[in-house]
């Protein structure tokens, strides 16, 4: 991509279909043969309960969500498979001492498969951290923060509480993600603890972490994004393109039980 294209909001990493990221108003434009909705905006007031300082100031709109995007030729197949592709764009800046981020939640049990479902992230623009913890109860279990940049893929396993963070306050961040069509979010445990087990904090221009005292003892592991050969994913190939090449590639997203043996020993 050229510098001009980057300034206009196009991702350095090509997501595999024609979409433009409008950083100026946190929106998307869809090209020829691509369907998608107008994004829903999430405001700072919507996420205050998950912040280390609920009274902090920051961008009035922190991120935008567009669920159900794809190529027109694939629409019927995606419906049959109960598979959905979504996209999000995060504002630049900070919320008090914290970076711009989403609320923490667990994927609710989907009626279609009877279990919580995973999510497959692909970073399109900027730098991200996907924070996740094994449980949303008093004992959070494993706590892992995965650093990712353009082209990286991160998989959130079923049942894990998680949030997404814009890791660079100087620019917007955008990503696409595969999820189940009858998705839902459970905020109960996270809200009961005033957020996730660790809060990201910008300190001296760098990202640091502070522990949420409402949880029991735990430690935080910081990892780099990795490849996922156990799911047959190809590194550097857009996840949408991988779906086009093998329509059943992401069956584990809408039917996680087919990968029970993988989830049992899974590390994001």
**187-209 pLDDT per residue, tens:** 999 999 999 999 999 988 889 99
Are residues 187 and 103 in contact, defined by beta-carbon separation less than 8 angstroms? yes
Average pLDDT over residues 158-164: 98
Domains of the chain from N-terminus onward: 3-263 (2.60.120.10)
The per-residue pLDDT for range 227-260, each reduced to its tens digit, is: 999 999 999 999 999 999 999 999 999 999 999 9
pLDDT, mean over the chain: 94
What is the structure's pLDDT at 47? 87
Residues 118, 254: Cα–Cα separation, whole Å: 8
Contacts of 41 (CB under 8 A, 6+ apart): 26, 61, 63, 64
The per-residue pLDDT for range 114-154, each reduced to its tens digit, is: 999 999 999 999 999 999 999 999 999 999 999 999 999 99
What is the structure's pLDDT at 3? 36
The per-residue pLDDT for range 94-117, each reduced to its tens digit, is: 999 999 999 899 999 999 999 999
């Amino acid at each position: 991509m050229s510098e001009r294209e980057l300034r206009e909001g196009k991702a350095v990493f090509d997501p595999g279909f024609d979409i433009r990221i409008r950083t100026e108003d946190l929106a998307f434009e869809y090209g020829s043969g691509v369907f998608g909705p107008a994004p829903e905006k999430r405001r700072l007031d919507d996420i205050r309960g998950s912040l280390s300082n609920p009274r902090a100031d920051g961008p009035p709109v922190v991120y935008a969500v567009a669920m159900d995007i794809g190529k027109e030729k694939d629409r019927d197949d995606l419906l049959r498979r109960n598979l959905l592709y979504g996209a999000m764009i995060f504002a630049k800046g900070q919320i008090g001492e914290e970076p711009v981020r989403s609320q923490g939640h667990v994927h609710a049990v989907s009626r279609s498969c009877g279990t919580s479902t995973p999510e497959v992230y692909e970073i399109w623009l900027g730098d991200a951290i996907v924070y996740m913890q094994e449980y949303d109860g008093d004992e959070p279990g494993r706590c892992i923060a995965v650093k990712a940049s353009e082209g990286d893929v991160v998989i959130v396993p079923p049942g894990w509480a998680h949030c997404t963070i814009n890791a660079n306050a100087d620019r917007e961040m955008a990503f696409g993600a595969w999820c189940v069509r009858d998705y839902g979010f459970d905020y109960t445990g996270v809200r009961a603890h005033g957020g996730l087990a660790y809060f990201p904090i910008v300190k001296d221009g760098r990202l640091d972490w502070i522990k949420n005292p409402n949880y029991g003892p735990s430690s935080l592991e910081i990892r780099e994004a990795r490849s996922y050969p156990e799911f047959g994913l190809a590194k550097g190939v857009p996840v949408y393109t991988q779906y086009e090449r093998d329509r059943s590639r992401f069956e584990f997203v809408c039917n996680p039980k087919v990968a029970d043996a993988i989830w049992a020993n899974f590390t994001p």
